[in-house]
Amino acid sequence: MSDDEPDLELLALLRQHLQGKLTLNDEPETGVLEGAEYVYDNAIDVAIDMRSCKNAAAAIHAQMQQKQYSPATWSAHELHPDRTKIGPEATVAFIFTMDLLNFSFWSELPDAERFAIEYRGQRWTGYWSLVAAMQRALDEGIPITDSHFWQDEEECTLDVLRQVFRSCTNEEMPLLAERLACLREAGKVLYERYECHPINLIEEANGSAAALVNLLARDFSCFRDEHVFDGRRKPIRILKRAQILVADLWACFEGEGYGKFRDIDKITMFADYRVPQILNTMGCISYSPPLDTAIRLKKDIPCGKSWEMQLRACSIWCVELIRREIVKRYPGTHTNAILIDFFLYDTIKEMEAAGQESVPHHRTRSIWY
Ligand SMILES: Nc1nc2c(c(CN[C@H]3C=C[C@H](O)[C@@H]3O)cn2[C@@H]2O[C@H](COP(=O)(O)O)[C@@H](O)[C@H]2O)c(=O)[nH]1
């Protein structure tokens, strides 16, 4: 923008301030919800059905109550780290590493041939294959959660990463080279700015979830999940892995210690490939015929293009509408987008395990989710 062009955003802020609509405080915002609403308002291939969202809100609330969904649910998963055993710093290092690599596990091969990790006598696929591989590596003495290791080009090679993520089938973990690049970049940034440990990132955020998300997006390109939509000058911030990292810390530490954030409710749903699938299954979001056909035929949905941005952003906005409906209809219920999201993810995974998926998840191969 040239000097003589007016900065329209600044003028808008000034106007809001003069009208007393703007409370200038130093609390940071991520901008994710604002971007999600913008995409929703301009989407033509993804729609939100309000009636289904209201019905879903009632059903989700009832089931979350019944299952007593809370941050403690996170640690109940057998593969997640036990902070009481390994201590807070090692737990933060584990979660940081996990959410650096928490993307793109889907396979087009049949279950028996898809990438899978054998650990503790079980075969783990999807997200759980990542967690299982990390636990196995630590058991085998590979310091997979240590940022010094990530930077060491002799020690931490692509072959070593192949070994860490070795499959019990012939299919290799997707995007292995990209995962190594994420570790390398994170190791470098942690060395240069955060004394080699992610706990210093959390300290820097000073108790704000939004600030931590913004720090991750500012300092690590591999967390900077933001994309231009329909030529809008300001990119749309999705920040899925940055947000799920903060959410996993909050859940694992049950809102205390390294999981203590005064603004945790600013975190949105995590725009992955599973929650849009269940929102579509529940009728909360629907697709234009060409997009619907592309998803059902498991066609590649290109990363960063309009269809994919509409899918991800409208899912974020849809979960926000469900959250607002729950808060409105059940006053006093303390829920947030994180717990609703965790519940939806776990629910679609139960449906997958029971062979009850009625529509496929969309296929985008990317490091963002
Ligand atoms: N929106 C959302 N996306 C989530 C999760 C999780 C796991 N969170 C655990 C922690 C607490 C919860 O209770 C879960 O047990 C993984 N993913 C994403 O899904 C994809 C993996 O799918 P599949 O290949 O089928 O396993 C991949 O993009 C991964 O990043 C979530 O919770 N929400």
Residue 63: CB atoms within 10 A of its CB come to 12
Residues with CB under 6 A from ligand 1: 73-74, 77, 102-103, 105-106, 126-127, 270, 272-275, 341-342, 345-346, 369
Check: CB of residue 30 under 8 Å from CB of residue 243: yes
Is residue 305 included in any domain, yes or no? yes
Which residues form the domain of 333?
28-353
Q: Above 80 in pLDDT, residue 281? A: yes
* Ligand 1 atom having least distance to the Cα of 352: 25
What pLDDT does 95 receive? 98
On whether residue 2 sits in a domain, the answer given is no
Which pLDDT belongs to residue 18? 67
pLDDT at 5 over 80: no
Each residue of 146-180: pLDDT tens digit? 999 999 999 999 999 999 999 999 999 999 999 99
- pTM for the model stands at 0.93
Half-sphere exposure of 120 (CA within 13 A, CB side): 13
pLDDT tens by residue, 189-200: 999 999 999 999
Q: Which atom of ligand 1 is nearest to the CA of 74?
A: 11
Domain annotation covers residue 22: no
Instruction: For a ligand 1 pocket test, name from 79, 123, 244 the mutation site with the most ligand atoms within 8 angstroms of its C-beta.
Output: 244
Q: b or e along 243-264 (b: 16 or more beta carbons within 10 Å of the residue's beta carbon)?
A: bbbbbbbbbbbeeeebbebebb
d(CA 237, CA 225): 6
Mean pLDDT, rounded, of the chain: 95
Q: Which of 28, 26, 69, 24 is nearest to 209 (CA)?
A: 28
Give residue-wise pLDDT tens across range 67-97: 999 999 999 999 999 999 999 999 999 999 9
CA-based torsion, 3, 9, 11, 14: positive or negative:
negative
- Ligand 1 atom with the smallest distance to the CA of 369 is 28
∠ CA 19-21-24, rounded to 5°: 110
| 337-353 helix and 306-329 helix, angle to the nearest 10 degrees | 110
Please tell me the predicted confidence (pLDDT) of residue 12.
73
Distance from the CA of 13 to the center of ligand 1, in angstroms?
A: 37
Residue 35 has pLDDT above 80, yes or no: yes
Confidence (pLDDT) at 124 = 98
pLDDT one-digit tens code per residue, 192-234: 999 999 999 999 999 999 999 999 999 999 999 999 999 899 9
d(CA 355, CA 33): 33
Per annotation, catalytic residue among 146, 225, 248, 272: 272
DSSP string, 180-207: HHHHHHHHHHHHHHSTT-THHHHHHHTT
CA torsion sign for 143, 145, 146, 152 is: positive
Closest ligand 1 atom to the C-alpha of 272? 28
* C-alpha torsion 303→50→242→99, nearest 10: -80
CA atoms of 71 and 82, how far apart (whole Å):
14
Give the distance (Å) from ligand 1 centre to CA of residue 274.
Answer: 7
Question: Is residue 361, in this structure, part of any structural domain at all?
Answer: no
143 contact partners, CB below 8 Å, separation of at least 6:
149
- The count of structural domains within the chain is 1
Choice from 123, 272, 280, 347 to test ligand 1 binding pocket (greatest atom count within 8 A of CB): 272
The predicted model gives 327-349 an average pLDDT of: 96
| Residue with CA nearest ligand 1 atom 16 | 127
Structure-token pair, residue 313: 């952003």
The answer to whether 272 is a known catalytic residue is yes
CA of 345 from ligand 1 middle (Å) equals 6
Strands, E assignment, 252-349: 285-287
If one residue of 253, 344, 345 were mutated to test the ligand 1 pocket, choosing by the most ligand atoms within 8 A of its CB, it would be: 345
